[in-house]
Each structure stands twice: as structure tokens, then as C-alpha cells.
Amino acid sequence: MAPREFLASVGGNEIPMSGVEVEEPDEAVFIACIQELDELVERKLRRYPLGTIVVAMATCLAGMLGALLDESQCTPDEIRELLRGIESEIFPPQGPEKE
């Protein structure tokens, strides 16, 4: 499951964002959130090594995914699919090797 598909499955548009009027509000909210996270990392966290930021964000992600489970907003299988989707974005499938 791709991250955007996961967003749709957990009701990613529950909290409307003021000032955003586009045909696909989910997409606008998703993009705005990514931009804010990028700004946060750039302005507030740049003093930390990249690896430290990644581990800290992974810890936060684990906690947030656990909260979604606790609130029955998604299933363990949906989370597993999301994590596989993230992994496939990092390590795209390789075609057959040429000899």
C-alpha cells in the first residue's frame, strides 16, 4: 500500500485545513503537511545529524501508527502494507539481472 493510499484508508481528511480550496482536498492537505514537516526539519532540526533525525522520526512514526491501531483507525495488516510501500519507495524493485 502506497503512503497516499494509506492516508485515504484512515480518513486522511478528518480535519479540514482552512484556506485550502482545491478539487482534491486530501492531496492539498497531504502536500501542505509535507511542506510543513520539511520546514520543521530545515529550521528547527538541522543542528542534528541526519541519522539522528531519521531514528527520531521513525520512533514518532511507530508511536503514531500505534495510536491509529489503539483508536481502531486501521488494522495491523494496513500498517504492514504501508511499511512495505515505504520500503518499496526506498528500494524500488529490480528487474531481472542481465548477464
Angle at 74 between CA 78 and CA 31, to 5 degrees: 80
- pLDDT band of residue 18 (cuts 50, 70, 90) is very low
- List pLDDT tens digits, range 23-48: 556 788 889 999 999 999 899 999 99
User: Per the confidence metrics, is the pTM higher than 0.85?
Assistant: no
Contact indicator for 5, 89 with CB cutoff of 8 Å: no
Task: Provide φ and ψ at 82, rounded to 5°.
Answer: -60, -45
Task: Provide φ and ψ at 86, rounded to 5°.
Answer: -65, -45
**Dist CA 30 CA 61 (whole Å):** 16
60: pLDDT strictly greater than 90: yes
**Dist CA 68 CA 72 (whole Å):** 6
- pLDDT band of residue 3 (cuts 50, 70, 90) is low
Residue extents of the structural domains in the chain: 3-8+22-90
